[in-house]
Structure 1
Amino acid sequence: MSARPSRQSSSSDDSGPVIDERKRKRMESNRESARRSRMRKQQHLEELVNQIAQLKIENESSEARINMQMQQYGKVESENTILRTQIMELTDRLQSMNSVLRFVAEFSGMAMDIPEIPDPVLKPWQFPSPAQPIIASANMLQ
């Protein structure tokens, strides 16, 4: 039960219209507050939708960069495989040439001053020319 006294209609009691006016103002204020709350929620929802769209764009951009880097990596890896194969073939040729030179020197019986052709693959620290330092940075990968 309500603790309020029930309203009685009497001509001497003018509190009825004042209460009705207060109630009307309170209801109007509540409606306005609810409208503002709905507007804030709608604005927040729109901000979240915009943020989702922006993040999707960034995600697609990142995926495109990753795919491009993966393609470049695959290309470099293929080139490295080719170069490694060429190194092995050239090393075999070099060893064969050195064997032929030794055989010719022994067979001819002459003291031929045939220098040994250095093998940079087997002894990379003894390059015929000074090695240049390799300069790299993380920016090269981007």
Structure 2
Amino acid sequence: MSAKPARQSSSSEVDLLPAIDERKRKRMQSNKESARRSRMRKQQRLEDLINEVVRLKEQNSQMEMRINDHLQHYQKMESENTVIRTQVMELSDRLESLNSLIRFVEDFNGIAMDVPESADPFVKPWEIPFPLLPISASANMFQC
């Protein structure tokens, strides 16, 4: 039986071991530092996102309040418009009844009654109550 002779390390290999250990130690230290910075960046990003969520929720809440305010205002205006439309319809019906009565009296008596046309824009909303005039402006119009 032949035994393998034990490998003997040369003096140059022994000299390299401390240098390799030092590089390995430095690399490990660098990796630890890099991982620490990465965790810090991740933590900072998480905090930034949490702050943004809080800000966006607050902004969303403010917008919801404004929307609700506008919705209430719209509903109030719509209700008032409905009342006004109903009044216009009632007044239009009354006007038509009065005009019918005037025509009946004219036909019955044979006397023409002079009833001027109303210039009320609500009676004839398709007619423009005021003539359109050109608008003129100049650059120095608002100078004091």
Output the TM-score relative to the length of structure 2. Answer: 0.70
CA distance in 2, matches of 1:80, 1:132: 26
Which amino acid in structure 2 is aligned with residue 71 of structure 1? Q
Could you tell me how far apart the structure 2 residues matched to 1:106 and 1:86 are?
30
Q: 2:20 corresponds to which residue? A: 19
Partner residue of 1:102?
A: 103
Distance 1:113 1:53, change over 3 A: same
Name the amino acid aligned to 1:31: K
Task: Report SS of the residue matched to 2:14.
Answer: coil
Q: Could you list the per-position Cα deviations for residues 90-116 of structure 1 after superposition, in whole angstroms to 9, with x for gaps in the alignment?
A: 01110111122222233334x243325
| Cα distance change, pair 106–28 in 1 and its aligned pair in 2 (3 A) | same
Partner of 2:64: 63
In 1, the alpha carbon distance for the partners of 2:96 and 2:76 equals 30
2:114 alignment partner in structure 1:
114
**Could you tell me which amino acid in structure 2 is paired with residue 75 of structure 1?**
K
Offset, 1:122: 6.3
Gaps of 5+ in 1: 1-5, 134-142
For the residues of structure 2 that align with 1:49 and 1:66, how far apart are their CA atoms?
A: 25
Aligned match of 2:53: 52
Given that 1:94 and 1:117 are in contact with CA atoms closer than 8 Å, whether structure 2 keeps it comes out as no
RMSD: 3.1
**Distance apart, 1:132 and its partner CA:** 7.9
CA contact (8 A) 1:120 1:126 kept: yes
Q: Which residue of 2 aligns with 1:3?
A: none
Partner of 2:137: none
Kindly tell me: are residues 124 and 13 of structure 1, through their superposed partners in 2, closer, same or farther at Cα, counting changes over 3 Å? closer
Q: What is the TM-score when the length of structure 1 is the normalising length?
A: 0.71
| Aligned residues of 2:102 and 2:113 also touching (Cα < 8 A) | no
Structure 2 gap segments, 5+ residues each: 1-6, 134-144
Tell me, in whole angstroms, the C-alpha distance in 2 between the residues paired with 1:17 and 1:97: 117
Partners of 1:24 and 1:48 lie apart in 2 by 36
